[in-house]
Amino acid sequence: MPVACEMFAQWQRARGARAQPASRPFSRSWEDLLEDARLVSAMERQEAERDAGVLANAGWLELKLVRYKSHLIERVVIPLAVEARWQEAFGFVPPSDEEARQIREFPWVTALGFGREARLNLPFAELRKLNEFLQQSQEERPVVPIKERSLQIFGDEKRLDTLLGSALFRPPDRLDVQRDLRCELIGVPLAWKRGPAEASARPLIVLENAATWHSYCRWNAEHKLFSGVIYGDGNRFVDGIRYLPDIFSEIGGLRRIVYFGDLDPQGLLIPQEASARAQAAGLPPVEPDLWSYGRLLALGEGCGQPWEGEPPSSTLCDWLGDLAEPVRQLFASGHRLAQEHVGWEVLVSELSGM
């Protein structure tokens, strides 16, 4: 559960340096937690709410709901009584007295020397595995995906992902993933469907959510509007920019990239962050698909869903050009629009409106 992983990582950062047990439970704003976990699309938010409910029913979390809006989560809380349960689940149990002595006295490599004094809450055996790896020369090692390195060091491909939020990797004087472990986080590959041959010179379009991606793929097969239809998968599109050159290679060169997603503040941040990364990599910017956003505004008039997040910056909507002002008004009213309003039935009946 991504929301649980982010909650624990933040709990650990807050608790890691404490010498005494906490007297108050750790809590986090729900909207801030979703943003930090990069769960921003409508589908991701729905899944996160479901996961939070499952955790609450099992006693892992307490949910504080918005007053008079009991369907909305305001804060999530890890009760003091279950903190040890979270630590055990994520493999961060405080070492025994004997393990603590071993950690203090062991001849760690320079990069792990801080482990003698830091409160890492990691088993001695696990730290030794890291030490054995770091004893080997790293200069000639290639940089590999983090899960491959994690499997090599710990025999568990997910362990390094969990450790990234721990004191092991707290800057500026702790381990560095690329420098010390010669590995990197790999974004989720971009799922996409090639457009018809007649559309090979047309733009690529990126859709934030899966249902809309499916409908646009069907629509494009018939009406030949895009050289390819990419599933952005919420915020994963930002990290997936690294895979765009592969798609351009397959379709025969650079194309314009247009984007269509939810109309909410986080939904607009995704393409703008992705555009900055694309241009830094020498790729075309990510532009709004104005027809799709225009139809969303028209179809969603009076149908907006309440938005409880922080007010966006005054410039966030500028990316939308001529549509910026109506979207500012939408946000000012405390509402958002899901892109699924522009669904299959709308697409097949409105080609003439483009």
pLDDT tens per residue, range 299-327? 988 888 887 666 788 899 999 999 999 99
Of 92, 7, 98, nearest in space to 56 by CA: 7
222-260 pLDDT, tens per residue? 999 999 999 998 888 998 999 999 999 999 999 999 999
Q: Which H or E element spans position 35?
A: helix 30-36
Per-residue pLDDT at 18 exceeds 50 = no
85-143 pLDDT, tens per residue? 988 888 887 778 888 889 889 999 999 988 888 778 888 999 999 999 999 877 788 99
The confidence score (pLDDT) of residue 117 equals 82
Name the phi and psi angles at 305, rounded to 5.
Answer: -95, 145
User: How many other CB atoms are there within 10 angstroms of residue 176's CB atom?
Assistant: 11
The confidence score (pLDDT) of residue 309 equals 67
Per-residue pLDDT at 51 exceeds 50 = yes
154-190 pLDDT, tens per residue? 999 988 988 887 778 877 788 999 999 999 988 889 9
Q: Which pTM does this prediction carry?
A: 0.74
**pLDDT band of 297, cuts 50, 70, 90:** very high
68-79 pLDDT, tens per residue? 777 788 889 999
Per-residue pLDDT at 19 exceeds 50 = no
What are the extents of the domains in the chain?
1-90, 92-186, 191-353
Which fold would CATH assign to domain 1-90?
Answer: Arc Repressor Mutant, subunit A (1.10.10)
The confidence score (pLDDT) of residue 268 equals 94
The confidence score (pLDDT) of residue 165 equals 75
Residue % of the chain over a pLDDT of 70: 96
> CA dist 12 to 3, 53, 63, 106, 156, Å?
14, 22, 19, 25, 21
> CA 68, 57, 94 angle in degrees (round to 5)?
115
